[in-house]
Structure 1
Amino acid sequence: MDVDAEAARKKEKKEKKKRKREAEAALVASTEGGEEAAPEKKKKKRKLEEAVKDEIPAPAEPKKQKKSKSKQAEPSTSSSDAAPASEAEVTAFLAKNHISLDPPITPYLNFKVLPVPSSLSKPLMRFPAPTPIQSCAWPSALAGKDVVGIAETGSGKTLAFGVPALAKLLADPPKKDGVTTLVLAPTRELAMQTHDQLVDMGKQFGIGCVAVYGGAPKEGQIRMLRNMDKKKDGLTTRIIVGTPGRIQDLIDDGACELGAVNYLVLDEADRMLDAGFENAIRKIVGYCKPKEERQTMMFSATWPESIRRLAATFQRNPARVTVGSEDLTANSRVAQNLEVFDDDRDKDRRLLGHLRQILPGKDKPSEVRVLVFALYKPEASRVANTIQRAGFRVCALHGDMKQQQREAALAEFKTGKCNVMVATDVAARGLDIPGVEVVINYTFPLKVEDYVHRIGRTGRGGRSGKAITFFTGNGPYEKGLAGEYAKLLIDGGYDAEATKLSDVFPMTIKKKQHGAYGAFFRDDIQAPTDRKKIVF
C-alpha cells in the first residue's frame, strides 16, 4: 500500500515539473515578439469580456421597453398615431365652413386625433369625419372649458357635448352613486332622442342615462334616478336628459338630486327662452354645483342678447364657436321651394301631387320619408286622414296624442312602416329621423324661426334635402311674416322664390316679440346683475 502511494506521488511530481517546463518554454516564445504582446492580449481579453458582458443583458432591454410601452398603451387614446391638422388645413377648413372662433383653437379634423379612450372614439369611426361644430367644440370641451356653440339645425350638436361628457366620466369616475351630468332640452322629443344617443354610447362603460319629461309616468324615471335596476342592467345613472318642467317636478318631490352635477348642457337654448323657461332654467341650475366647479355647454341656432346674458350668468370665459351666421339662417344644404296659393282648397291637391312624385308607389316599400307640417292639431289630423284616403302609409304626431302614441308614431316613421308623417311644431326641434328627404310646410308657422327648424328635419348629417312651402297669406300673421320670410330666402340665395312673395305681399319686417314679454321687450338693454336696495 505504502509502495503504491509513494509511486503515485512521484508520478504526480514528474507531471508538475513537465507542465512547468512547458509553461516556461511558452513564456520565452511569447517574449520574442516584444514586451507589447502581453498587453495586447490583455486588451483583447478585456474587450472580449466587456463585449460578452454587454451582450448578455442586451436582448432584455428592448423587452423592458416594450413592456413599459404596453403599459402606457392600456389607457391609450386614438390620438397617439395621428398628427394634428396643419395651419393651412385649418385655415381652409374654417373658410370652407364659414366658422369663427373666439379664442382661436386648432380643430380636430378627424376622429383619430381625439384625446379620448379608443373605446369611446371607435363607435364614431362609422362617420366619415366630425361635423364643423364637433371639430371646433371638442378641443375646448375636452380640455374642461365652457363652450358656446352657434350652429344650424342638423349639425351634430348632440355628439359635440356627448363625447366630452362621457370622456369626463371615464377620466374621473365619481366615487358615489349619483347624477353628475345634466342636459336640458326644450321638448320631450328632443330629450328622448338625445337620451337614446347617450345610452348607446355609455352602456359599454356601465354609464346609465335617464330621460325625464312630462306625459310619461314618473315611476320608471324615479327608478332610474335611484339606480333601483342597477343589479339587473349593471348601469349606474350618471346622466339626466330632460325638460325643465318635469325636472323641477322631480326636484320638488325629492326624487332628483342635482348637487353633484359638474357638467351642464343647455341644448336649443334659444327655443327654451322663447318658450318662457328662463326662470325654470335659472332655478334648476341653482341646484347644481356653482359655475366655478362646473363645466357648462350652451348650444343655440342664434346668438341674441338674451342668450348672451344667459351665457354670462352661467359660464366662465366660454369659448365661442360660430358655424355660419349668428343671425337666423336656414340649413344651406336644403333646397327651398315656395308655392303661393290664392285659395286654401288647392293645397290638398298639390300636396297629394307632390307625394305621388316623391314616393315610388302607394304600396311599394321605400326608405324615402316625407315630413308634412301643419299648424294646429285638428288640421294635422285632417291632413293625415286625407293622405291616408289617397292610399299612402301615414302617421300623425301632435300634442293631443298620449305619450305612448307619440312614441309609437315616431317608431313607425323611423323604421319605415309609414313613410309620411303629418306633425305640428312639436317635431320641428332636434328630431333626427334618417331618410327624411323632403319637408312640406302645408301651413306656414307662426314664426320664421319655426320655419327654419321645420326644414332642418332634412339635410341632416351632411346630407342634402328639399323643403316645399305652401304660402297663402290668409290671416294677419302670414302677411306679417312675408317680409321676414323673403329676407331669409334672399340670404340663402333664393331670390327668385322671394320675388314670388314681394309681388303679392308687403315686405315690412315685423318687430320680434318675446315669448313672455311681448313686443315691448327690450333685448338691447343690459339687465342689472346685482340687487339694489330701494330707500323710501
Structure 2
Amino acid sequence: MGHDRMSNLGATLRRPDWNRELPTFPAFEKNFYMEHPAVASRSEEHVAAYRRRHQINVFGTGVPKPVETFDEASFPSYVLTQITAAGFTRPTPIQSQGWPMGLSGKDLVGIADTGSGKTLAYVLPAIVHINAQPLLKEGEGPIVLILAPTRELALQIKQECDKFGASSQIKNTCLYGGASRGPQINELRSGVEIAIATPGRLIDMVESRQTNLRRVTYLVMDEADRMLDMGFEPQIRKIVEQIRPDRQTLMWSATWPKEVQALANDYLKDYSQVNIGSMELSASHNVRQIIEICPEHDKMRRLMNILGHPHDARQFKSIIFTGTKRGADEVTDFLRRNGHDACALHGDKRQSERDRVMFDFKNGTFQILIATDVAARGLDVRDIKYVINYDFPGCIEDYVHRIGRTGRAGATGVAFTFFTLENSKMARPLLQILEEASQDISPELRELARTSGGGGGSSRFRSRGGGSGPGPMFTGPNSYIPLPPPHPYARR
C-alpha cells in the first residue's frame, strides 16, 4: 500500500503550459552580485593560483572571481553581522567561489563533499534573494525551495535557515514524511519564505493544495546524487515541472555521475559549475583510513579492541556503521552489555525517537552511535573522532560518505573498516580510494584487488590486531567478553 502510494504521488498534478502562463507572472530580479574592488583588482594569475591552492575548478562562461574574505562577498550588513557572530574566520573553498556565482543569479552546479560548507553557500544568497522580492501575500507559497533526500539533512538545513534568516524575519518550514502533517500544514498556511522538503512530502502538500510553487524563484537540489540513489527522480521531475522555468536553480552533489548530469542538463539553463577537489570519487584527505581484513566472526573482538575500555571510549565520539537494522541493534546491545554508552539509529525507529537519539548524541549524553546508512549523509556532528565500518557498504560511494562523518571542517579523524572475503568484489574500488588519499595499503588488500575476489584461502585472514587468534564472539544472549587492550592507534 505504502509503495503504491509513493508511485502514485503527483498523479493529479498538471504540468503548466509555461509558454502561455509565464508572461502572466510578475518579473523578478535575481542578480545581486556587486564585485568588491579588492576582488576586481586581482590579476588572473592571482585568481588561478588561489583556485589551485584550494582545489577549486570552475567551468562555464563568465564565472566570477572567488572572494577571499566575508567582506568581499557583497552581502548586506545584516548577513555579515550574523557570519561574524557565528565565529567563522574565512570562507570555505565552496563558499569562496559559490557565493559570487549564486548571487549573480545564474544556474549553478556545485560538486563538493558533505561538510564543506555548501549549505551556507546556497542559504546566504537565498536570504539576499528573498529580501529583494515582494513580500508574501496570504495564500502564497514559498520563494525559496530546498529539496533534500532525508529528514535528517532537511532538519540540519533548517538550523542554518533559522540562524541566518532571523535578522530578516525570514520564516521557513521543514516538510518531511514520518511526522504529522498538521503542524507542517499550519506553518505553510501562515506563510513561509523558505520550504525545506523531502520530495514525497512536498508533492503530497502540493497535490492536496496545502501550498503551491508559483512564487518559487530560487530552487536548490541538495545532495542530488543521493536523491537519485534513493529513487526520487520521478518525484523531483514532477516538482520541478511545477516551478516557473525562469527561476534560478542550484544543484549540489558530492559526486557527478551521468544520472546527475542528465538531471542538470534537463532543468538548468546555461549553468556554471564549481568542483572542489577532483572530479573522481575521492575520500577526505583529513581522514586516516585503516582497513582490517578479517573473518566475520572476529569483528566484535576487533571493535572492542578499537574502542578500548568504556571509560576511554567516553572521551570521544564514534559512529559505527552496520549493513542492517538488526545488525545495528545487535551491536548496540553487545556494547551496552560491555559497559559502553551506545545507541542505535535506523529506519525502524519512529521519527521522534530518531530526533531524540541525534540530540543526545550531539550533546554527549552517549558517545557511540550505531547506524545504518540512513545516517551516512547529511549527518553534521563536528567532533566525531572515529568512524567504524562494522559492515562494508554495498557501494564505494557510501564508503566515502560514511568516512566523511569524521575529519570535518579541517579537523582530522580516523576510519576503521572491517573487510571480509564476502566484500572482496569491492577491493578494487576501495584500493583506488586509498591510493588517491595516499593511505597505507596492506599486501592482503592488494592481493584481493588483483584477484577480484576470485579464490584465496583463509590464510589471508590471519589476525593482525594483537591479542588471541580469531574465535566466535557470541556464546549466548548474555555473553560478556573481557575487554582487550585499546587499539594501538587509539592511544596516540
Name the TM-score class by shorter chain: 0.7 to 0.9
1:430 to 357, 366, 378: 378
User: What amino acid does structure 2 have at the position aligned with 1:239?
Assistant: I
CA distance in 2 between partners of 1:250 and 1:222 (Å): 8
Q: Does residue 141 in structure 1 map to residue 102 in structure 2? A: yes
Return the offset for 1:355: 1.3
For the structure 1 residues 498 and 121, does the alpha-carbon distance in structure 2 shift closer, same or farther, using more than 3 Å as the test? farther
Distance 2:290 2:53 in 1: 25
SS at match of 1:320: strand
Query: Residue 34 of structure 1 corresponds to which residue in structure 2?
Result: none
Tell me the distance in 2 between the aligned counterparts of 1:263 and 1:458. Answer: 31
Q: What is the rounded CA distance, in whole Å, between the counterparts of 2:40 and 2:333 in structure 1?
A: 55
Deviations 1:28-75 (A, max 9, x none): xxxxxxxxxxxxxxxxxxxxxxxxxxxxxxxxxxxxxxxxxxxxxxxx
Q: In the aligned structure 1, how far is the partner of 2:211 from the partner of 2:291? A: 47
Say if 1:153 and 1:331, in contact at 8 Å, map to a contact too.
no
The alignment partner of 2:347 has SS state of coil
Aligned partners of 1:181 and 1:261 also within 8 Å: yes
1:349 and 2:301 aligned: yes
Residue 147 (structure 1) shift: 0.7
1:205 is displaced (CA, Å) by 1.4
Match of 1:152 in 2: 113
TM-score by length of 2: 0.80
**Residue number in structure 2 paired with 1:374:** 322
Q: Which structure would you say has the larger Rg?
A: 1
User: CA offset at residue 507 of structure 1?
Assistant: 5.0
CA contact (8 A) 2:39 2:67 kept: no
Q: Is the 8 A contact 2:424 2:452 kept in 1?
A: no
Q: 1:361 aligns to what SS in structure 2?
A: helix
Structure 1 residue 201 displacement after superposition: 1.3
Q: Decide which of 453, 456, 467 is 2:415's aligned counterpart.
A: 467
Aligned to 1:105: 64
Aligned residue among 44, 48, 53 for 1:91: 48
TM superposition score normalised by structure 1: 0.74
1:250 aligns with one of 197, 205, 214: 205
Matched length? 416
- What displacement does 1:86 show? 2.7
- Against the structure 1 CA distance between its residues 187 and 499, is the aligned structure 2 distance closer, same or farther, given a 3 Å change threshold? farther
Name the CA shift for 1:81/1:265 in 2 (closer, same or farther; >3 Å): same
Q: 2: distance between equivalents of 1:502 and 1:136?
A: 38
8 A contact 1:84–1:108 mirrored in 2: no
2:133 corresponds to? 172
Equivalent position to 1:334, from 273, 281, 287: 287
Q: 2:236 aligns with which of 257, 264, 281?
A: 281
AA at the equivalent of 2:126 = A
Letter in 1 for 2:53: K
Q: Aligned Cα RMSD in Å?
A: 2.2
Structure 1 residue aligned with 2:425:
480
Deviations 1:282-311 (A, max 9, x none): 001111111xx2000001112222222211
**CA distances 1:440-477 after superposition (whole Å, capped 9, x unpaired):** 11110011110111011111222222111111122xxx
Q: Over residues 420-453 of structure 1, what are the superposed CA-to-partner deviations in whole Å (9 max), with x where a residue is unaligned?
A: 1000000001111121121111110011110111
Confirm or deny that 1:271 pairs with 2:226: yes
- Relative contact order: is structure 1 or structure 2 higher (C-alpha 8 Å, sep ≥ 6)? 2
Conserved 8 A contact 2:141-2:211: no
How far is 1:197 from its partner? Answer: 1.3
Give structure 1 stretches of 5+ with no counterpart: 1-76, 228-235, 511-536
Alpha carbons 2:424, 2:448 under 8 Å: kept: no
Asked if the contact 2:102–2:125 (Cα under 8 Å) also holds between the matched residues in 1, the reply is yes
Q: Which sections of structure 2, spanning at least 5 residues, go unmatched?
A: 1-32, 455-492
Q: What are the equivalent positions in structure 2 for 1:430-469 lying under 5 Å apart? A: 430-469=378-417
- Of 255, 274, 296, 1:321 maps to 274
Give distance in 1, aligned partners of 2:382 and 2:204: 33
Q: Alpha-carbon deviation of 1:78?
A: 11
Structure richer in helix, relative to its length: 1
Q: Percent identity?
A: 40
- CA deviation vs aligned residue, 1:207-230 (integer Å, no higher than 9, x gap): 111111111100011011101xxx
